[in-house]
Amino acid sequence: MSDISYLERQNEAQFGDFVALLKPRVMSLVVFTAFVGLVVAPVPVHPFVAFTAILFIALGGGASGALNMWYDADIDRVMRRTKGRPIPAGRITEGEALGFGLALAGISCVMLALASNLFSGLFLAFTIFFYAVVYTMWLKRSTPQNIVIGGAAGAFPPMIGWAVATGSISLESIAMFAIIFLWTPPHFWSLALFMKEDYSNAGVPMLTVTHGRRVTRLQILIYTLVLAPVAIGTAFTSIGGPVYLAVALALNALFIKGAVGLWRRDEEVALDDRYAREKRFFYFSLLYLFGHFAALLAEAGLKYFELGGW
């Protein structure tokens, strides 16, 4: 793995470069789901404990992003979407990113265990390992199912939030996991549809490269159809309710409608319109996930209000 030496560095690393290693934009939604997992749990958590726990989960997520960028420096240099990142741009060396990621991972796991409980700290460590090693180092470069299995890493955070409050796993935390797990393929494959050139240049076996657009669009539709009952069904668990049910029904109807629109034969749609639809679907996938977890938060607020919490 080639690495520029400290002396060869093209540009001086700035604080912002180390922040960029943490993938803050992606991790913002990840951390939101962890926060919701903590708040909807049936065990109240002191606000200071909740704040520190979410902070260390966020730093743990960032650490996994830094380790991902350390290992992916070679393919990031090739892909248009990622070649401006700190390591391929020569602002941070791979060794610095590795050291930063490992240090942050260790600190965040230990501090989460101390701030909440050992189980949560271990769960965070496992999640970092799953993303940095199982997904980034193994699955991503070896199978078109990479993001399906690797997607588990992105689905663990609400379970960690729940574990901070309860020290355990439950049907509800598994339901939140399942929503993100089944959401990840439509989320990512819609991006890969309009980013296909990048992945084939980098030699990464994403489904769009190995099986083409039509299979990818069919897989997106299948996952949205499997996801809908799981997401809607969560309304009937202890963390759901009428507000969540209404939001889930609307968002899943729109998500399936979008997936059907993508699945329409490519030939029927002009190229520019095709990319526009894929990009729209990708960005809607973010609203989809945020909307479900925001509705769970609203249900928790309503329950707290009904119990006379205010």
Ligand X SMILES: CC(C)=CCC/C(C)=C/CC/C(C)=C/COP(=O)(O)OP(=O)(O)O
How far apart, in whole angstroms, are the C-alpha atoms of residue 58 and residue 30?
Answer: 8
Answer yes or no: are the C-beta atoms of 178 and 230 closer than 8 Å: yes
Pseudo-torsion of CA 248, 254, 255, 256, nearest 10°?
A: 110
Q: Which DSSP string do the residues of 209-243 spell out, in sequence order?
A: HHTHHHHHHHHHHHHHHHHHHHHHHGGGSTT--HH
187 binds, among ligand HEM, ligand X, none (CB under 5 to 8 A by kind): ligand HEM
Interface positions with ligand X (CB under 6 A):
26, 30, 57, 60-61, 64, 68, 72, 82, 124, 127-128, 131, 136, 140, 153-154, 157
Shortest distance, CB of residue 189 to ligand HEM, whole angstroms? 9
180 binds, among ligand HEM, ligand X, none (CB under 5 to 8 A by kind): ligand HEM
User: Closer to ligand HEM at the Cβ: 185 or 240?
Assistant: 185
Tokens read off for 296: 């769970």
Ramachandran assignment for 167, one of left (phi > 0), alpha (psi -120 to 50 degrees), beta (any other): left
Member of 105, 124, 191, 297 binding ligand HEM (CB under 6 A): 191
Residue in 95, 94, 107 with CA at minimum distance from that of residue 62: 107
Member of 29, 102, 134, 256 binding ligand HEM (CB under 6 A): 29
207 binds, among ligand X, ligand HEM, none (CB under 5 to 8 A by kind): none
User: Closer to ligand X at the Cβ: 177 or 244?
Assistant: 177
* Residue 2: strand, helix, or coil: coil
187 in contact with ligand HEM (CB under 6 A)? yes
How far apart, in whole angstroms, are the C-alpha atoms of residue 83 and residue 4?
Answer: 15
Member of 63, 73, 180, 228 binding ligand HEM (CB under 6 A): 180
Shortest distance, CB of residue 68 to ligand X, whole angstroms? 5
CA 148 to chain centre: 12
286 in contact with ligand HEM (CB under 6 A)? yes
207 in contact with ligand HEM (CB under 6 A)? no
33 binds, among ligand HEM, ligand X, none (CB under 5 to 8 A by kind): ligand HEM
151 in contact with ligand HEM (CB under 6 A)? yes
User: Closer to ligand X at the Cβ: 60 or 291?
Assistant: 60
Pseudo-torsion of CA 276, 136, 158, 230, nearest 10°?
A: 60
Pseudo-torsion of CA 206, 181, 302, 26, nearest 10°?
A: -40
Member of 20, 21, 22, 30 binding ligand HEM (CB under 6 A): 30
Q: Which DSSP string do the residues of 72-121 spell out, in sequence order?
A: THHHHHH-TTTTTSTTTTTSS-HHHHHHHHHHHHHHHHHHHHHHT-HHHH
Interface residues with ligand HEM (CB under 6 A) are 25-26, 29-30, 33, 81, 135, 147, 150-151, 154, 180, 184, 187-188, 191, 286, 289
